[in-house]
Amino acid sequence: MAKIPDFKTQDEAVEFWEVHDSADYWEDMEEVTFEIALHQNLFHPKLIVLTHRPEYCPRCQHDLDDTVIEYVARNNGHLLVIRDVPALRCRVNGHEYILEKTLDDVERLLDLEKTRKLQPSETIQVPVFSLKMTA
């Protein structure tokens, strides 16, 4: 089994993994767990964060299309919508990805909103129901 080199920068690692198959290095890998303080996107709960843009869908190897999604998050005790968020969508199976860089921008916007340094471009009304109304 091959040994994974010690990467000095993230770019080094990216370049390496672009031309090497991780299956050849499986036994040299260690399991890690980490917490991510994501403001979960309520409309796209299965959105996967990628550090760099892959050529094909990492899950099924089909083509990826550039798309724009709405990011719906709970922030500062209320719901908010962020429009025009760039994302990648797998052409065949609809797997969705967002780049880490984009997520950083989302986090920055949420911080600005929290400190009221940013005003919304519009405010929409959301209908609220109770399931008891169907009884």
- Tell me which residues touch Zn ion (CB under 5 A): 57, 59-60, 90, 93, 95
**Nearer of residues 76 and 93 to Zn ion, judged by Cβ:** 93
Please report how close the Cβ of residue 61 comes to Zn ion at its closest, in angstroms. Answer: 7
**Nearer of residues 91 and 114 to Zn ion, judged by Cβ:** 91
Q: How far apart are the first and last CA of the chain?
A: 63
**Nearer of residues 52 and 59 to Zn ion, judged by Cβ:** 59
Please report how close the Cβ of residue 88 comes to Zn ion at its closest, in angstroms. Answer: 10
**Nearer of residues 94 and 120 to Zn ion, judged by Cβ:** 94
In order, the DSSP letters of 33-96 are ---------SS-TT-EEESS--SB-TTT--BEEEEEEEEEEEETTEEEEEEEEEEEEETTT--E
Query: Is 98 in contact with 48 (CB distance < 8 Å)?
Result: yes
Please report how close the Cβ of residue 65 comes to Zn ion at its closest, in angstroms. Answer: 11
Please report how close the Cβ of residue 58 comes to Zn ion at its closest, in angstroms. Answer: 8
Half-sphere exposure (CA, 13 Å, Cβ side) for 33? 0
